[in-house]
Amino acid sequence: MLLLDTHVWIWTVAGDERRLGRRSRRLLTTSEARGAIRVSPVSVFEMVALHTLGRLRLTRTPERWIRDALDATGIRVAELSVDVAMDAGQIPREALADPIDRLLVASARQLDGVLMTADARILEYASSQRNVHVHDARR
């Protein structure tokens, strides 16, 4: 299972291949063919919040963008379970300050999947903990 960080989801749907590395594009293609790509509900929240703040410009309303993105791709929304919430709550704030990042890491662990991200803090956390699988989206 491949879980996309919010920015990777946006890049993927926008077809922004210059931000995604060659290996990442191949991994996305093979995962999509298997129906094995997920986004977290917290990514939906983050997108809408960034749009509301004016930090993310979308060509359509967030609701339409999200519906279109899910309808047009093999990407599905992952469950945000109590186990994910408890796992995320146990990640120290000092390790990952952003609660959304903690929820994404916990979601990837619960899915026994790979979190595709370009977020340096998440990549660093994963390399130091060795209990979450990540893929650097720039590679």
pLDDT by residue for the chain (139 residues), tens only, comes to 999 999 999 999 988 889 999 999 999 999 999 999 999 999 999 999 999 999 999 889 999 999 999 988 789 999 999 999 999 999 999 999 999 999 999 999 999 999 999 999 999 999 999 899 999 999 9
Q: Which two tokens stand for residue 40?
A: 């977290």
- Residue 129 one-letter amino acid: Q
What are the chain's domains?
Answer: 2-136 (3.40.50.1010)
CB 125 within 8 A of CB 105: yes
CB crowding 111-124: b at 16 or more within 10 Å, else e? bebbbbbbbeebbe
